[in-house]
Amino acid sequence: MAFLKDLRRRSRASFRTSDSSKDSSNSVPSQKSSSTLNSAYASSTPPSSHPAASSTTNLPAIRTNGTSSAPPVPPRPAALPGSNRNSMIAMSPSASTSAMRIPQPSSPFAPKITSVTDGSIVHSKIVVVSGEINEPQLRPMDGNITVHHDKDGYAFPPTNWPVSDSYFKALVYLTPGWNKLRFDFSSSKLSQSSNGSMQTHSSYLMLNYLPLNSAPPLQLVILVGKDSPCTFDATPARVQNEGNDLSVAIRKFRMAAHLWQAFTAEQMYRHKFGRRCFRYEEEWQTGTLSIRDWESGIQKNETRVHVVRCEHSVAELRDANLAQQNEKAAKKGDLFGIAGDAIRKYFNIRPGQKHYVACLLLDSHWDKQAGTITAHAALGGGSDDLKLAIFGSHALQSYPSCIEEVVPAFTDCTKTDTNFVANDCNESGSSWEAANIGIGAHLHEVGHLLGSPHQENGVMLRDYVRLNRTFCIREPYSTRTKSPGMRVCKQEDECGWHRLDILRYRYHPCFRMPGDELPNTADDGIQYYGVDGGRLIVLAPSGIAFVEIRIDGADLCHHWSEYLNPDPRNAALPRQVTLNEADIRAKLPEDKKKGRISLQIWSGSATNVEIKDLGEVLSQKNIIVLPPVKLAPKQDEGMVMSMMGKSFGDKRQGFKGKKLGASSMDGSKPQEIILQSCIYQSKLLLSVKVWAGAALDGLEFCYEDGSTQLFGKTGGSSAEFALDTRRGETILGFAVRAGAWVDGIEFLTSTGRRSGMYGNPNGGSLHTLMAPRGYQLAGLSGSCGPWIDGLQMIITR
């Protein structure tokens, strides 16, 4: 106790005020209240971004008069003047309270940011910012916006952006943590300052850049042939001014990738999902996003672009491209497969791993005589281990290589010289239009990589020919539309991702944010049951996100239903959803309401299941009549009726769920059983004997009276799972591993017990079969050949 008293005296004496200008360094605080010390300590700490109610203390309780009590929690005080204490971890914009104060706009003509709120958290290094000057409708004016970073010497130099009719757009570069940005507006239409210089009107914006390092990155790859000179198509003037070697290609591809990211983050925000976006792998290298960094050799953490040499020559790549375009070509090949093989080898992708890669084919070349682009393919998709998007470099000369070149690149009306470069699809008649096609079409393939099909509008329907409007306030003359251009490109004039693309990306692993609940990747299946009344019950462990409704014969989806919670504080998805056929058909046009409908159901783990014919799932084919409930001897009928809500002798219906397995083995025959315990009240299920080897052979249900029921066949070895009947334990469902057939099965019981997997625990994929709320297990249906190759669960009320 003497030691503790001495320690208390020392700790009290060690407190100092944070103002070094006052002569109080040797004073000991009064012993009136310990909260005085706590208040002084807290006042120099920047306000936390978390609510006070959610915080807890790990300080030991203070003993007073022999009793233990927690120290009083003081109210949050105002900041002390002159405080200079810096917090080690600050979620606020700055550790200094004076630096946190954002100056008020200097005049009515100070830029007003409309696209992002002050203090927002963003997840991309480059952010699209748009706004207006004063009241554009009252006094439209042109001018210039200069964006300054508070760390100009290190982060990024000032950049200039045009103002048209009082509207502007800009790209701002951010460093991790808080970024203080100043926007200066100047115009010749406004009065000049006393010294004759143009007067500036300033406003400020604070943004917190939080990189997403826990999500898988979108890798950037430039693929070249084994004998490639590593150059790309460019006019002589371009070659002379900026070059066309590999280093220039890397800079341009990197800048294009950041435009993809900024565009996607802005689209996600407009759809109320925050500024989610995919991320890139970074490494410490010479910066290229600013021309100053490149020219001065300043090193930064920049997006990495991998250069991969494949095992094929440039001539072989061109032949493979021609073979893809001409089925009768003598030399067959596949650029997508060639790129995939080279990338798998480069990254050494192991079983179970998954990579997402956007690949630029550097050896693409415009062949004027043949009128085609060789060694080029626009494809996106992939397999389980590699999701890949490939595109050629034939428009690369028109790309910007840094932020300062974005506006010049998207306003360059230089006519495309087809003696040296391609006019892709006759939509790239000028340099800025070629940049749209190259950057936008590659983004289209990235959309396929991320799982998007073609849509009714947006990037996935070639709407990327307007990609420039997201980054520039003006649009010049278009050779594609023969239109004179636009003075102001407003939000409604821009292209975008379709809503269905946005819904896919919300739950895509590449868009995962720190606060998101991690999906159960071991079981990401979706199950469904067609029940009476034209209703479809859908279940998924990770929740149901949305359902696409497709009309028979339609290539695009025009109707869908969403099940997202609009409250951002509770983003949980419903794990069970009931769809009504009448409600689904009501969404369709009158001439399509009676046609065949297919559904694609998406879960919160970005998995989906397709129902090719809703009418077939809801038909009598999947509804069976169950025997009526039979009374056990000496059992009170009134009591059982009140318990079950049924009259004895009433017919009941059973409903078959989603089928696992293909039922395609030689000699496969249909099988079906209704559990006796579901019919007879006297039947008590004691155990299940499982017959299995490398796959599941059969299930034998054993009852108290010695009778059994066999689904499948006996074979392999047997094991028995016993139920705890003293606790009233019953089987609620199954965890099944299945692919073309059923590999293994696990029993899930009413007491929360799991039996463990019988059969092959690594075969197929995992599916959980459970009865929906208000229903129970009634039996099993499926098929059996050499072993069980089809399985459905039958449920009843």
Strongest mean pLDDT among 7-21, 520-534, 737-751:
737-751
Intrachain domains 527-618 and 622-796 with the same fold: no
Core vs surface per residue 129-149: b (16+ CB within 10 A) or e? bbbbbbebeeebbbbbbbbbb
Among 430, 93, 53, 398, CA closest to 238: 398
In angstroms, the Cα distances linking 113 to 128, 182, 204, 404, 778 are 11, 11, 9, 20, 61
Residue 138: per-residue pLDDT: 81
For 223-239, what is the mean pLDDT? Answer: 96
Told to judge if 610 belongs to the known catalytic residues of this protein, a careful annotator would answer no
In angstroms, the Cα distances linking 328 to 322, 324, 325, 476 are 10, 9, 9, 43
Count CB atoms within 10 A of the CB of residue 71: 15
* pLDDT(290) > 70: yes
Among 53-62, 174-183, 512-521, the least confident range = 53-62
* pLDDT(11) > 50: no
Domain 103-209 architecture: Sandwich (2.60)
Write out pLDDT tens, residues 55-112: 333 333 333 334 443 444 444 444 434 344 333 334 444 444 334 556 776 688 899 9
Please, are residues 258 and 303 in contact by the beta-carbon 8 Å criterion?
A: yes
The two tokens of residue 171 are 């790209």
For 140-156, what is the mean pLDDT? Answer: 86
pLDDT band at 516 (very low <50, low <70, confident <90, very high): confident
pLDDT band at 631 (very low <50, low <70, confident <90, very high): low
- Domain boundaries 527-618, corresponding CATH code: 2.60.40
For 243-270, what is the mean pLDDT? Answer: 97
Residue 89: per-residue pLDDT: 37
Among 17-21, 418-422, 668-672, 747-751, the least confident range = 17-21
Write out pLDDT tens, residues 642-665: 444 444 456 789 999 999 999 999
Mean pLDDT score across all residues of the chain: 83
Contacts 24+ apart (CB under 8 A), 325-331: 325/372
Residue 289: per-residue pLDDT: 95
For 589-609, what is the mean pLDDT? Answer: 91
Domain assignments of the chain as residue spans, ordered by start: 103-209, 218-506, 527-618, 622-796
What percentage of the chain's residues is helix, strand, coil (to nearest 5)?
A: 20, 30, 45
Does residue 519 or residue 612 have the better pLDDT? 612
pLDDT band at 137 (very low <50, low <70, confident <90, very high): confident
Q: How far apart are CA 114 and CA 687, in angstroms?
A: 66
Does residue 74 or residue 418 have the better pLDDT? 418
pLDDT band at 342 (very low <50, low <70, confident <90, very high): very high
Count CB atoms within 10 A of the CB of residue 59: 9
From the number of C-beta atoms within 10 Å of its C-beta (0-12, 13-18, 19+), residue 431 rates as: buried
From the number of C-beta atoms within 10 Å of its C-beta (0-12, 13-18, 19+), residue 285 rates as: middle
132, 266, 302, 445: the catalytic one is 445
Domain 622-796 architecture: Aligned Prism (2.100)
For 624-633, what is the mean pLDDT? Answer: 74
For 283-305, what is the mean pLDDT? Answer: 93
For 478-500, what is the mean pLDDT? Answer: 94
